[in-house]
Structure 1
Amino acid sequence: MGMELELGGRVAVVTGASKGIGLAVVRTLAAEGMHVVAASRTSSPDFPADVLHVPVDLMEPGAPAEVIARAVSAFGGLDVLVNNAGGPPPGATLPRLGFLTPDDDDWRAMFEFNLFAAVRAVRAAIPAMLERGGGSIVNVSSTAARQAAAMNIDYSAAKAALNYVGKSVSEEYGPQGIRVNTVSPGATLTDWWTKPGGAAEVLSGVTGAGADAVVKQVAPEMMRLSTGRLVHPQEIADVVALLASPRSGSTTGADYAVDGGYLKEL
């Protein structure tokens, strides 16, 4: 008998759900027997059949509350929120090198997508979770929030702010049964890396190595990954599922790095 996560019949909202880490989280929580509401601009043929997809653009201020409301009306409440949507906002490409590169509009879009969308989702989720006597919020951040670099500064700053929000909300609502934790992926093998014009191609242009070699060797070496490879989305989804579970009842305000050993400090 494996470890029973006690998630069956509970209700989860997952944002940025159609691919990569979000899709892995949706499939994992659905496999645990949860009612899953998947929020993303487009649906995915890889969604399990019983997943409820809510098509929204999370850059719209009203979208997060709309998703939470759909979850409550469809399944009677909310137990778990996974704020996974993030990365480059629509139309932007990362990595973006240098502090002077992003302008005000770039900064605004980055914070809108990576911070404000999550803040709005948490704001909408808290009353629904309090009605159930508690819940679990998992914010998907990034190791970039904790490791400064001369690239992606607007993205990393937004994620650092998200880390603070998670810790602060966990402090306020922990006594009322709402746990808030952060998962910080390192470089993860998603289309962020592999799509045309993605990180692998950008770094290929900088390093002269082929995009495939960037993913398999150059990037892991550049980032000094202890495991020697990028993270798989499923490895992040598994940690999210554990944090969502009542089995993690005393874990709140924590930040789990799933990064192949990228972060070296104590």
Structure 2
Amino acid sequence: MELNLQGKVAVVTGGSKGIGLATARTLLGEGARVVVASRTTTPELAALVGPDLVHIPADLTDPEVPARAVRHAADVFGGLDILVNNAGGPPPGVRLPRFSFLAPTDTDWQVMFEFNLFSVVRAVRAAIPLMLERGGGAIVNVSSGNARQPGAMNVDYAAAKAGLNNLTVALSEEFGPQGIRVNTVSPGPVRTAWWTEEGGAADILADVAGSNRNDVMDKLAPEMMNLTTGRLVDPQEVADVITLLVSPRSASTTGADFVVDGGFLKAV
């Protein structure tokens, strides 16, 4: 399928690994010019850097940085058509999961909202004027199945993502008539660094269950979350949906939430 993304300018936050890296790589392969904003780089991201993909170091919890990253696209490539707010999950230095509402402090809540909600607000605020200059654009906010599946685990994260879902629909309502489409993609558990890195979710759950990291990811986590597919989601599977949503082929899709979760959510 031709996605008609040739020459479009995109910003992808949190694009050094996982879903963000897969999205940046896919957009680049479709002919888009891409700015990746992330705290650090990786060998995989460095291999993509070239005339049509640049990396800007960015700590998105700094209130000034999201707008700076967005404006960089206009400085380097002359404008902005696409914004993928992918950065999220555990803020820098935070280990998840937490197992109770009583676990996170006020500071934990504030940091979680800064990273998962307020950084998006600031990026979108900077992006909309640039998109309006070009007659429209597309924004995808990467949310989570936890936004629609409340529970004691990671309650601060889930609340931030629920706010992101509400924000997405509000933005779609206001700016859709002006040509800016806004949607969410809600992954379930994805086989990313959140799970795979040392000290990550798989290790925390392994300690609780008396298991090991690989068994948690291959068997325990899919069973615990009742995943219909029986496995964690691959980052590329999420990136493919994001890329379709920012394409003109999705011109009548806005204010929607697309679930890519292996069957985690069961509600109609």
Q: CA deviation at 1:105?
A: 0.4
**1:21 alignment partner in structure 2:** 19
Structure 1 stretches of 5 or more lacking a match?
A: none
- Residue 46 of structure 1 corresponds to 44
Q: What are the equivalent positions in structure 2 for 1:150-229 lying under 5 Å apart? A: 150-229=152-231
Question: Equivalents in 1 of 2:40, 2:128: separation in Å?
Answer: 26
Does 2:151 match 1:145? no
Greater mean alpha carbon deviation, residues 184-193 or residues 200-209: 200-209
Q: Return the alpha-carbon distance in structure 2 between the equivalents of residues 8 and 177 of structure 1.
A: 19
Spell out, residue by residue over 1:49-91, the C-alpha distance to the aligned partner (whole angstroms, 9 max, x if none): 3211011110110101101111001111100000000011111
1:146-190 Cα offsets, whole Å, 9 max, x none, are 001111010000000000000100000000000000000000001
User: What residue number does 2:64 align with?
Assistant: 62
Q: 1:253: which partner in 2?
A: 255
TM-score normalized by the length of structure 1: 0.98
Instruction: Count matched residues.
Output: 264
SS of the residue corresponding to residue 11 of structure 2 reads strand
Structure 2 gaps, min length 5? none
SS of equivalent to 1:237: helix
Determine the C-alpha separation between the residues in 2 that align with 1:184 and 1:158. Answer: 13
Fraction of identical pairs, as percent: 64
- The counterpart of 2:33, out of the listed 24, 35, 58, is 35
Deviation at 1:97, TM superposition (A): 1.1
Aligned residue identity for 2:41 = S
1:78-125 CA distances to partner (integer Å, 9 max, x unpaired)? 000000000111111000110111010000000000000001000000
Question: Match of 1:200, SS?
Answer: helix
Which amino acid in structure 2 is aligned with residue 4 of structure 1? Answer: E
The CA deviation at 1:43 is: 1.7
Moved over 3 A (4+): none
The residue type equivalent to 2:35 in the other structure is V
Once the 2 structures are TM-superposed, how far is the Cα of residue 208 of structure 1 from its aligned partner? Answer: 1.5
Of residues 82, 85, 95, the one that matches 1:93 is 95
Q: Distance in 1 between matches of 2:41 and 2:93?
A: 19
> For residues 190 and 92 of structure 2, what CA distance do their matches in structure 1 show?
19
- 1 CA distance for matches of 2:93 and 2:195? 16
**Counterpart Cα distance in 1 of 2:77 and 2:203:** 42
Quick one: distance in 2 between partners of 1:49 and 1:92?
Answer: 29
SS in 1 for 2:43: coil
Distance 1:153 1:168 in 2: 23
Amino acid at match of 1:198: G
Query: 2 CA distance for matches of 1:150 and 1:101?
Result: 10
1:196 and 1:34 map into 2 onto residues whose CA distance is 34
